[in-house]
Structure 1
Amino acid sequence: MQTEIPKRFAGMAPRYTSYPTAPHFHSRIDEAVHARWLSELAPNSSLSLYVHIPYCDRLCWFCGCATKQTNRYDPVRKYLEVLKREIAFTASKLDGTARVTRLHFGGGSPTMLTPEDLIDLSRHLRAHFNFESHAEICVEIDPTDMTPEKCDAMAETGLTRASLGVQDFDPEIQKTINRIQTFEETAQVVSALRDRGVNSLNLDLLYGLPLQTLETVQKSVELAVSLEPDRLALFGYAHVPWIRKHQTMIDENLLPGQKQRLDQASLASRRLQEAGYQAIGIDHFARPDDALAVAAREGELKRNFQGYTNDEATALLGFGASSISQLPQGYAQNSPATADYMRRFDETGLATVRGFELSADDRARSWVIERLMCDFGFEEAALKARFGALSLPIFRQAAELAASEGAIFRFEDGRYQITSEGRPFTRMIATQFDSYFGKGPARHSIAV
């Protein structure tokens, strides 16, 4: 089991679901720029859609998502009206030939929606965008929100994959994070979805939670595996109370230390692989015949705001408060506050408050960081063929890193590669190629 953490790589780092990362977005990317970028999308572009539902009926203290608690449905209903108008407005900026290959409902808790509203929202999206017949439809699920009627509604939307939040099955740990959810509740939802033809299921687990030990992590992994999911995500708890104020409800004295976190991650990873799951990137696991596992083996794995994916879409369009669109020109993010999001949309037609236009150097570094996060390395020839002279400073940085940290990063047979010993430190290694890292006030979560 891993016991040593190199000092240089024991700090905090982004998760690199984008490059540059969101803390470096700026207000010069506004509604007008966003609208222009949409209008410049090439004909017949493939689209991935993300719809954000920023509401929960309880606030889990570990959560790092952009969400708010409400015990009333009226705010959700008002939000949905604006959301549908944003969808229609965005579609009007395109030429009508774009094709949707993927739709992801995220949150918050999309399962807050009534069955009628979920079906209505799905129909609205299909009325304004051309969906491929094989489009993947995914929803994030809080199992404690689910009812048979909601399962029926999800099946009616054409749901192909469900991602169930689990975190940990231990009741005492659940109390410390305000997430009471029994194994039996989760198993019932898994069974109900499979009965309705939703055959691809993902479970999200966390390590580094308060009171977690090697024994509790192993038990949760075993219970999760018993549900036979197609995929599992194993995330390190990101304690960022300076961003998510509700995390101050967690007693920091109960959090495992960095070495304990590393040991928990190593144990869970080993157990999942022993159970027949293929390790993918830094924190995902999938059955060998799953599309994500196939993409990883074939060098076609991608990374975006939903994590690891095999999504090949030209653009990702985000709808709702805090959502981020990833377009060929760069990134555009909506206002995170729901009230401000709705006000801005009423005033301008979009609710964009910040973003980032990519330079040629950004694109080269983005490619390198994505390959490190997905493949743990990159080919020297491939980087040079794609980016020419822009590769030279990156090669210098890579050579210097290999010379100083050969135990975890080295150059062999034309490839810069993170070693097996270095994989737990992939996020910190990626920072070495991030020209924005350490600049500005951005703070991140522990990298291990």
Structure 2
Amino acid sequence: MTEELLTKYSAAVPRYTSYPTAPHFGTQIDAGTYGDWLSALSDGQTLSLYFHIPYCDRLCWFCACHTKHTLRYEPIAKYLASLRREIETIGGKVTRGARVTAIHFGGGSPTMVKPDDLRDLMAHIRTHFTLDPKAEISVEMDPNDLDDARYDALADIGMTRASLGVQDFNPVVQKAINRIQTFEHTKSVVDAVRARGVHSVNCDILYGLPYQTIESVEATVAQILSLDPDRVALFGYAHVPWMKKHQTMIPEAALPDAMERFRQMSRAADMLIAAGYEPIGIDHFAKPADTLAIAAREGTLRRNFQGYTDDAADALIGMGASSIGQLPQGYVQNIPATGEYERMVDEGGLAAVRGIALSDDDRLRADVIERIMCSFGFRFSDIRNRHGALAEAVIAEAKAFAAAGRDGLCRIESDGFWLTETGKPFARVAAARFDTYLGNGKGRHSVAV
């Protein structure tokens, strides 16, 4: 990879965990519309539930999530009461004939929730939704929150996948991002959840952090590999201080430049692949027998607000402040402010305040963008079969994109558009070529690589 090519194509573009992306959601989709969409779900459809816990007992300066710092449990307890009320309201609108096949607790730090409250929350979910006996239950975990009582509670609720944020084990990097977490502590968490029967462990690594070097990334990846995780997510740090003011605490002069970021990413990826992990999309790796790797090989890999997934549910229902849902009709987002969220759901209503209804063109472009992000291309026959004559416009755009390219990023085959090995690191840039919303000036994004 030449520095010239990297500079040319490292544009600031969306991560495409949805299309249209969140900056284009509008207030035309409100609680009333959302209620109608929920009621339209039918027997036999499958559901994925996401629960957002927007609290942390430390604020990591690299984080771009909707969360807030607290050392008191009272705000969390109050929030959980509102979350249970939202579960009741949404559960009352969704047919019990729809099956929940996946549950994800994210944040923030869901592991701040006390053990009995965690058990109570899961009992509430089971009371108001129909859970598939084989439903996957995943939890984002902060090792600093965990103790034996919480491990036991996570086992009691049926957790099947533990997701641990590592970022980097180098103490200089950790201090710069306010995330002190030793390898030994992280290993104790992995050992504890596996001892309680959790079948899958996911670890997150970040590159592009302040004071990171190729050597520190190599050392972190080697330590991660010694934990033998089933999946590894390799994310580029997104420096967006205009969105997240606490990121101003990160010394910008210590951030690696675009070429160094690319070298860090490439070295980490090479190490993971050499260890037997299969590359998944632009930033995930999984053991060959993992369901994510199987989905990638079979062409059924999906992408949503949690990143890459093999979750094929018909609808994703987000609960909690700022959470986003994806239903057949479109996207919907809850109000981010926790106080307003609590007020709205405590009054017996829904907290949805924005979203977007999908047009046929949106569905077509969402399909094409997802396939580029998941499979680095798409077959013309597939999108013709799914979208009919509407597909011809996008096929023409793909052909024009390939014909105009002078850097060998993509190619046209007899029945498809595909990124080359040179083009794969720029999948987000390629996806952006099919985004008709991007040019309207809404939203600022992180760099593509």
Counterpart of 1:308 in structure 2 is 308
Counterpart of 2:93 in structure 1 is 93
Do the aligned residues in 2 keep the contact of 1:31 with 1:348 (CA within 8 Å)? Answer: no
Q: C-alpha separation between the residues in 2 aligned to 1:6 and 1:234?
A: 19
Cα 1:384–1:111 shift into 2, 3 Å: same
Do the aligned residues in 2 keep the contact of 1:51 with 1:104 (CA within 8 Å)? Answer: yes
Task: Please list the CA deviations of residues 364-420 of structure 1 after superposition, one character each: whole Å capped at 9, or x if unmatched.
Answer: 000000000000000011111211221122112111110122501110231100111
| Aligned-residue offset at 1:144 | 1.4
Do the aligned residues in 2 keep the contact of 1:38 with 1:93 (CA within 8 Å)? Answer: yes
Counterpart of 1:159 in structure 2 is 159
Counterpart of 2:394 in structure 1 is 394
Q: C-alpha separation between the residues in 1 aligned to 2:224 and 2:2?
A: 24
Counterpart of 2:284 in structure 1 is 284
| Aligned-residue offset at 1:3 | 4.4
Q: Between Structure 1 and Structure 2, how many residues are aligned?
A: 448
Do the aligned residues in 2 keep the contact of 1:2 with 1:266 (CA within 8 Å)? Answer: no
Q: In the alignment, does 2:193 pair up with 1:193? A: yes
Query: Where do 1:369-408 residues align within 5 Å?
Result: 369-405=369-405, 407-408=408-409
Do the aligned residues in 2 keep the contact of 1:277 with 1:286 (CA within 8 Å)? Answer: yes
| Aligned-residue offset at 1:58 | 0.5
Task: Please list the CA deviations of residues 197-239 of structure 1 after superposition, one character each: whole Å capped at 9, or x if unmatched.
Answer: 0120000000000001111111111100110000000000001
Match of 2:26, as an amino acid? Answer: H
54-63 vs 343-352, greater mean Cα deviation: 343-352
Q: C-alpha separation between the residues in 1 aligned to 2:341 and 2:446?
A: 26
| Aligned-residue offset at 1:347 | 4.2
Counterpart of 1:257 in structure 2 is 257
User: What secondary structure, in the 3-state scheme, does the structure 1 residue paired with 2:135 have?
Assistant: strand
Match of 1:409, as an amino acid? Answer: C
User: What secondary structure, in the 3-state scheme, does the structure 2 residue paired with 1:154 have?
Assistant: helix
Q: C-alpha separation between the residues in 2 aligned to 1:19 and 1:131?
A: 28
Q: In the alignment, does 2:358 pair up with 1:358? A: yes
Cα 1:33–1:80 shift into 2, 3 Å: same
Counterpart of 1:440 in structure 2 is 441
Q: C-alpha separation between the residues in 2 aligned to 1:7 and 1:216?
A: 24
Counterpart of 1:50 in structure 2 is 50
152-161 vs 8-17, greater mean Cα deviation: 8-17
Counterpart of 1:236 in structure 2 is 236
| Aligned-residue offset at 1:42 | 1.8
Q: C-alpha separation between the residues in 2 aligned to 1:308 and 1:5?
A: 26
Do the aligned residues in 2 keep the contact of 1:2 with 1:262 (CA within 8 Å)? Answer: no
| Aligned-residue offset at 1:348 | 5.7
| Aligned-residue offset at 1:242 | 0.9
Q: C-alpha separation between the residues in 2 aligned to 1:249 and 1:239?
A: 11
Task: Please list the CA deviations of residues 136-178 of structure 1 after superposition, one character each: whole Å capped at 9, or x if unmatched.
Answer: 0000001111111111110000010000010000000000000
Q: C-alpha separation between the residues in 1 aligned to 2:140 and 2:331?
A: 23
Counterpart of 1:104 in structure 2 is 104
| Aligned-residue offset at 1:346 | 3.2
Query: Where do 1:410-421 residues align within 5 Å?
Result: 410-421=411-422
Query: Where do 1:50-129 residues align within 5 Å?
Result: 50-129=50-129
Counterpart of 1:427 in structure 2 is 428
| Aligned-residue offset at 1:11 | 1.1
Cα 1:7–1:176 shift into 2, 3 Å: closer
Identity of aligned residues (%): 57
Counterpart of 1:326 in structure 2 is 326
Do the aligned residues in 1 keep the contact of 2:46 with 2:315 (CA within 8 Å)? Answer: yes
TM-score after normalising by structure 1 = 0.98
Match of 2:142, as an amino acid? Answer: D
User: What secondary structure, in the 3-state scheme, does the structure 2 residue paired with 1:100 have?
Assistant: strand
| Aligned-residue offset at 1:44 | 1.9
Q: C-alpha separation between the residues in 1 aligned to 2:363 and 2:9?
A: 25
Q: C-alpha separation between the residues in 2 aligned to 1:288 and 1:333?
A: 35
Q: C-alpha separation between the residues in 1 aligned to 2:263 and 2:15?
A: 19
| Aligned-residue offset at 1:343 | 1.8
Task: Please list the CA deviations of residues 41-75 of structure 1 after superposition, one character each: whole Å capped at 9, or x if unmatched.
Answer: 12221100000000000000000110000011000
In the alignment, structure 2 segments of 5+ residues that lack a partner are none
Counterpart of 1:204 in structure 2 is 204
Do the aligned residues in 2 keep the contact of 1:9 with 1:429 (CA within 8 Å)? Answer: no
Q: C-alpha separation between the residues in 1 aligned to 2:121 and 2:131?
A: 14
| Aligned-residue offset at 1:7 | 4.8
Do the aligned residues in 1 keep the contact of 2:6 with 2:258 (CA within 8 Å)? Answer: no
Q: C-alpha separation between the residues in 1 aligned to 2:54 and 2:403?
A: 46
Q: C-alpha separation between the residues in 2 aligned to 1:405 and 1:151?
A: 52
Do the aligned residues in 2 keep the contact of 1:26 with 1:354 (CA within 8 Å)? Answer: yes
Do the aligned residues in 2 keep the contact of 1:48 with 1:102 (CA within 8 Å)? Answer: yes
User: What secondary structure, in the 3-state scheme, does the structure 2 residue paired with 1:445 have?
Assistant: coil
Q: C-alpha separation between the residues in 2 aligned to 1:358 and 1:348?
A: 27
TM-score after normalising by structure 2 = 0.98
In the alignment, structure 1 segments of 5+ residues that lack a partner are none
User: What secondary structure, in the 3-state scheme, does the structure 1 residue paired with 2:440 have?
Assistant: coil
Do the aligned residues in 1 keep the contact of 2:62 with 2:247 (CA within 8 Å)? Answer: yes
User: What secondary structure, in the 3-state scheme, does the structure 1 residue paired with 2:256 have?
Assistant: coil
Match of 1:304, as an amino acid? Answer: N
Match of 1:259, as an amino acid? Answer: M
RMSD: 1.1
Q: C-alpha separation between the residues in 1 aligned to 2:318 and 2:404?
A: 41
